[in-house]
Amino acid sequence: MKLRTFWRENSTVVTFIGLLAILSVLGWIFMGQKPFVRTTLSGLTLAALYFMVAAGLTLVFGLMDVLNFSQGSMFMIGAYAGWQFYTNPTFLFGLAPLILAPIAGLAASQWIHPLVVNWKVPENRQKELQALFIVLALIVGLVAVWGVDFRGLAETAMVATMVAADPLAEATPQEPLGSFWFRPVLLLIAGLLIAVAQARPGDKTKVVYKDMIRNSRILVVVLLVLALGAALIREPGPIAVLQMGGNLRFVLSLIVGILVGGGLGAVIEATLISPLYVRPLYQIIVTMGLAFVIAELIQVLWDPLPYAMSRPPAFAQPGKAENILAWFRGGNTTVDILGVTFPSYRIFIIVLGVLMFVGLAVILRYTRLGMIIRAGVQDREMVEALGINVRRVFTMVFALGTGLAALGGIGAAPFIPVEPIMGDKFLMQGFITVVIGGMGSTTGAAVGALLLGLARAFGDYLALKFSLTPAISEASTVIIMAIVLLARPAGLLGRKE
C-alpha cells in the first residue's frame, strides 16, 4: 500500500529520473566520456540559471495567480546591484537613504488609518482626496530628488570597470550631508502622503486589525533607523567595502542583490499589484510595462553596454585544480572533473541553484510561512477564514520570488555580461520552465529547468557536431514544451484545475 501511494504521488519524478539515467548511459557510450561530461555540466549550469528565474515565477503564480512579466527585470536588477556593490558601491550607498525614507512613510499606512478614518469626508469626495494626496506626494518627491546626480553616482562603477581606475579614487562623490539631509526628509513626507491616501480618509469600511497597526509601527521605526544610518555612512561606507577582501565583498554582493530584489518586489506588490488582484489582465499589462520602464532606466544610468564583473578571488587564481578538494585549497579558475577541465565558477552556479532549491523546499515544507503558502495554493479562502493576514503573506511571497530572481542575477553576473537585455534572455526560458514543470510547483520548476538546460546544452553539441544551424538547439526548448503540454496539459507536476 505504501509503495502504491508513493508511486501515485511521485510517478512523474521517478519516471523522469529513470529516463534521464537511461539517456545518460547512452550519451556516455555514444558521445564518449569527455564530451558527455562537458556537455552535461554546461546543461546543469543553464538549468541552475533557468531555475533561479522560474522558482520565483512559479511561487508567485501558485499562491497569487499573478504572472509576473517583470521577473526577468528582477534578475537583471540583481545583477546590476551586485555588480555595482562589488565594483564600487558609491551609487548604492547614495541611493539607500533616498529609498528607505519613502518606504518608511509608505509603511505607516496601517498606523495612520485610525487617525484619518474619522475625517468627515463625503463619500463622493473620498477618491478625489486620495488623488490629491498622491499628486502632492509626487510633487514633494520630485522636489526632493531634483538636482541629485544619479548618473554621476552610477558612473563610479562604470569608470572602475572600463578604465581599471583605482576604485577608492571614485568612492566618495557624495553630496555633503549639510545639503543632503532635506532630501530623505521630503521623501519621508512624500511616503506619508501616499500612506494617507492608502488609508482612505473618511472610509470606515476598511478594516485594520490591531496587530497590523503594531507591526506597522515597528516596521516604520526600523526603516527610519536604517534610513538615518544609511545617510550617515554614505561617504565612509563605500571606502570600507572596497577595502574588504574580494570574497567577503562578493558574499555581501549576493546579500545586497537579494535585499534589492526582494525590497523592490515588496514595493511593487504593495503599490501596483495589490489593487489589481481582481483584474488579471491589468496585472500582466502593469508587469510588462514595468519591465520596459526598468530596462530603459537601466540604460539611462549605465548606458546600453555589456559590463563584465570580475570573479572573486576564490574562483580567479591561475591554474587548474585536480579535483574539488584541491580547488577549495587553491581557488583556481578551472577544476578537473572526470577528465574535463571546467570553470570553477560554473560549478558555483550549479551549487547555488541546488542550494536555492533545497532552501526553498525547506521553507515551504518546514516553516509556518511555507505551510501558509502551501495551504493558500490549495484553498486561499480557507486560509483567510482562519484569520491569517493573506495580504501580508502575498507581499512576502512576491518579495521572496523577486529576491530569488535577483540572487540568480548577481550569481550569474561574473559568468555572463551584465547588460539591459540579460533579463529578457532568461525570462522566456523561465516561463517555458514553469509551463513544463507545472504552474505552482517548485519541484516541477526544478525538473523543467533540468530538462531545458540539458536539452539546450546537448542541442548545441549536436548542432556543432553535425554542422546544423544554432536555431535548432534554440527551438528545442519550445519543442519540448509542446510535447509535454500535449501529453500533460497541466505540466509534469502541475495541478489539474
Residue 427 inside a domain? The answer is: yes
Distance in angstroms (rounded) separating the CA atoms of residues 267 and 402: 11
Q: Are 272 and 120 in contact (CB under 8 A)?
A: no
Q: Are 227 and 184 in contact (CB under 8 A)?
A: yes
- 3-state SS string over 85-141? HHHCCHHHHHHHHHHHHHHHHHCCHHHHHHHHCCCCCCHHHHHHHHHHHHHHHHHHH
Distance in angstroms (rounded) separating the CA atoms of residues 218 and 223: 9
Residue 497 inside a domain? The answer is: no
Residue 23 inside a domain? The answer is: no
Tell me, what's the pLDDT at 40? Answer: 92
Tell me, what's the pLDDT at 426? Answer: 87
Tell me, what's the pLDDT at 366? Answer: 84
Q: Kind of pairing, strands 340-343 and 317-321?
A: unpaired
> Domain containing 195: what range?
33-305+349-487
Distance of CA 311 to the CA centre of its chain: 21
List per-residue pLDDT tens for the chain, 497 residues long. 566 666 666 677 777 788 888 888 888 888 888 889 999 999 999 999 999 889 888 888 877 778 888 999 999 999 999 999 998 888 889 889 999 999 888 888 777 877 777 777 777 777 788 888 889 999 999 999 998 888 878 877 665 555 444 555 455 567 888 788 899 999 999 998 888 887 777 666 665 556 666 777 888 889 999 999 988 888 888 888 888 888 999 999 999 999 999 989 988 888 788 877 778 788 888 999 999 999 889 988 887 888 888 889 888 888 888 878 888 777 788 888 888 889 899 999 999 999 999 998 888 888 887 787 777 666 667 766 766 777 778 888 899 999 999 999 999 998 888 888 888 888 888 888 988 888 878 888 898 999 999 988 888 888 887 777 777 777 777 888 888 888 888 778 766 55
Residue 314 inside a domain? The answer is: no
Residue 392, C-beta contacts closer than 8 angstroms, at least 6 positions apart: 212
Tell me, what's the pLDDT at 158? Answer: 64
Residue 404 inside a domain? The answer is: yes
The single residue listed with the C-alpha cell 542550494 is: 355
Q: Are 76 and 83 in contact (CB under 8 A)?
A: no
Residue 223: count other Cβ atoms within 10 Å of its Cβ.
22
Q: Are 100 and 226 in contact (CB under 8 A)?
A: yes
**Among 234, 207, 236, 225, CA closest to 148:** 234
Residue 318 inside a domain? The answer is: no
Residue 495, helix vs strand vs coil: coil
Domain count, the chain: 1
- pTM, full prediction: 0.87
Tell me, what's the pLDDT at 255? Answer: 93
Distances (CA, A) of 386 to 21, 205, 364, 368, 447: 45, 21, 19, 14, 33
Residue 255 inside a domain? The answer is: yes
